[in-house]
Structure 1
Amino acid sequence: MANSKFEYVKNFEQPDKLLPNTWIVVRIDGRGFTKFSTKYTFSKPNDIRALDLMNAAAKAVVTELPEITIAYGVSDEYSFVFHKTCSLFERRSSKIVSTIVSTFTAYYIHYWSTYFPDTPLSPPLPSFDGRAVCYPSVQNLRDYMSWRQADCHINNLYNTTFWALIQQGGIDALEAEKMLKGTLAADKNEILWSKFNINYNNEPAIYKKGSVVFRDYELVQPGTHNTAAEVDQQAEQVQQSKNQAEKDKKSRAKAQVVIEHLDIIKDEFWDQRPWLLSNKPGKGKALKQT
């Protein structure tokens, strides 16, 4: 009731706005997924069903929220990137994070039976937590994305070797940990090849590189633009006309949201897709049948 004696409680609400003119990254992680993966007997070191389920939920989130420019996922985590000019929910951290977490969780549960048809969910149900971080420059954003993909490779190489030692080498987890302690990437590759005839380079890209979700347009020839510099030089949010904003919205709605397993550390990925940094839709391409 307006102007009631109870309205004073609103004074306890604290501002939680995110910095303006910065990239917003919302990173979500599965809560208690070590126990969760054991409960539902996920395959080790990677369960393609679980990864495909994560990707399906992420694709649904990106499709529903055109303000998201790109998302990157590995294992039970996903990072969703909002462009620096985004004003979604007036850039309030709690609203942006809760929207991403709740939407992702809803789709994860919704799609569960598609990827685990013989294993119905039971309480406690899967859930995710999240946080929002602001990055002021394109380089900061790209370094964050590179960090997540580098981490994906490091962890997957370790896990691939660890589980090969257990599943094919016949040793227990403690012994495998001791054997791998202090080893470098070259050492792990040598163990995989010499002991198990596994060439790590031939492992599926989804395991080594993770998954990238974005709207797909025609690729651009590298070297014909410098989107990163243009975006960083933008001192403040550029207000679009109502007509232009509506036009861009329709263009994004028509664009196909894709899931790829590509190198996002090198420049080529970003140079060929300037719309990821500029927030301006690219040239449309024919939709692919999925």
Structure 2
Amino acid sequence: MLIFKYSKHFNFLNPFKTLIISTMANSKFEYVRTFETEDYLLPNCWIVVRIDGKSFHKFSKKHNFDKPNDLNALKLMNKAASTVMEEYKDILLAYGQSDEFSFVLRKDSTLYNRRRSKICTYINSLFSSSYVYFWKDHFQDTKLKYPPSFDSRIVLYPTDKNLRDYFSWRQADCHINNLYNTTFWALVLKGGLSNSEAEQRLCGTLSSDKHEILFSEFSTNYNNEPVIFKKGTILLRKKFKYKNSNKIVVIPLHEDLIQDDFWVRHNEILEIKTCGFYEIADDVIPELVLKQLCLK
């Protein structure tokens, strides 16, 4: 006896087609599903998804990025990351530098039932597609020559201190790399050294040595370099008053997140509270925020 069960995929014009599909869905081949494994993340842990560009040294060279930093490229990374944050409200904070971005999801998040592969792949795919989608907005005169790609990973941090130390590590890495790259490219582009000669010149130098090279040989005070290059970009979801109404947007910040002050001022991150207010003067609203308000 055949028993017909209603399905949302039922084809009323061709009921036999539906029967065939139903039969196939319960075929002898369905056992292969038993090979699939669930990969649930531990509960009560901060979830950090870090995305890294693949072979971006080659990618940046192919697309003629400015050295040592390309502001348009950094703004594009920030736009892709803010798109991810706008989609996934469980993300409390994101931090980016160079070709990487880290996203932290609240420790009580139940996004995709905390399945590692789902969280990792969805966030990475949205970030990657957004990077390509918004490319033309940041590089109007440069055609995308081939598809960029990003790898992603998830790391769990059980304590608030672990989480803070993670972001301190990434921001310290930003400073170390930027100081090196700023000095390296000054020696190459302004000092006339080859890449290998610049590497040899900087081998074994300390931070103070690099500061001295920049100042004495190229009249550059590293402390006056744009803060986005030295500190990276912090993305936070905040409320701010705009035209007599409160708006919730993702705001870019370029400041120190290693010291306690940052975590005290933005205590909603670790305490997992509703996003706080942030004061922004109308004449200094960041471009990233204006785009969220559809004003640019």
Into which bin does the TM-score normalised by the smaller protein fall? Answer: 0.7 to 0.9
- Equivalent AA in structure 1 for residue 208 of structure 2: A
Aligned to 1:6, the other structure's residue is in SS state helix
Equivalent runs, 1:1-290 vs 2, <5 Å: 1-123=24-146, 125-217=147-239, 254-284=247-277, 290=290
Please give the secondary structure, in 2, of the residue aligned with 1:263. Answer: coil
SS at 1:29's partner residue? Answer: strand
Tell me the alpha carbon deviations over residues 33-69 of structure 1, each in whole angstroms, 9 at most, x when there is no partner. Answer: 1111111011110000100100011111111110100
CA–CA distance in 2 between the matches of 1:286 and 1:150? 27
Distance 1:27 1:285, change over 3 A: closer
Distance 1:262 1:14, change over 3 A: same
How much does 1:256 deviate? 1.7
What is the rounded CA distance, in whole Å, between the counterparts of 2:74 and 2:104 in structure 1? 20
**What is aligned with 1:230?**
none
The separation in 2 between residues aligned to 1:196 and 1:210, in whole angstroms, is: 24
Q: Secondary structure at the match of 2:28?
A: coil
Q: Secondary structure at the match of 1:171?
A: coil
Q: Structure 2: how far apart are the matches of 1:286 and 1:76? A: 29
Shift of 1:88: 0.5
Q: Where does the alignment leave 5 or more consecutive residues of structure 1 unmatched?
A: 219-252
Q: In structure 2, what is the Cα distance between the partners aligned to 1:17 and 1:161?
A: 45
In the TM superposition, structure 1's runs of 4+ consecutive aligned residues that sit over 3 Å from their partners are 282-289
Cα-to-partner distance string for 1:242-274 (whole Å, 9 max, x where unaligned) = xxxxxxxxxxx9522101111000011110111
**Per-residue CA shift, 1:91-116, capped at 9, x if unaligned?**
11110011111110111111100110
Deviation of 1:78 after TM superposition, in Å, equals 0.2
CA distance 1:18–1:158, change in 2 (3 Å): same
State the one-letter code of the partner of 1:131: R
CA contact (8 A) 2:266 2:276 kept: no
Superposition deviation, residue 286 in structure 1: 7.4
CA RMSD of superposed structures (Å): 1.6
Counterpart secondary structure, 2:109: coil
Q: Percent identity?
A: 55
Distance 1:283 1:28 in 2: 27
Deviation at 1:284, TM superposition (A): 4.4
Higher alpha-carbon Rg: 2
1:283 Cα shift?
4.4
* Amino acid aligned to 2:258: I
Query: How high is the TM-score relative to the length of structure 2?
Result: 0.83
Gap change, CA 1:100 and 1:70, over 3 Å in 2: same
Match of 1:241 in 2: none
Per-residue Cα deviation, 1:134-175 (whole angstroms, up to 9, x for no partner): 000000000000000000000000000000001111111111
How many aligned residue pairs are there? Answer: 255
SS, match of residue 174 in structure 1: helix
Structure with the greater relative contact order (CA < 8 A, sep ≥ 6): 1 or 2?
1
Deviation at residue 122 of structure 1 after TM alignment: 3.0
TM normalised by structure 1 equals 0.85
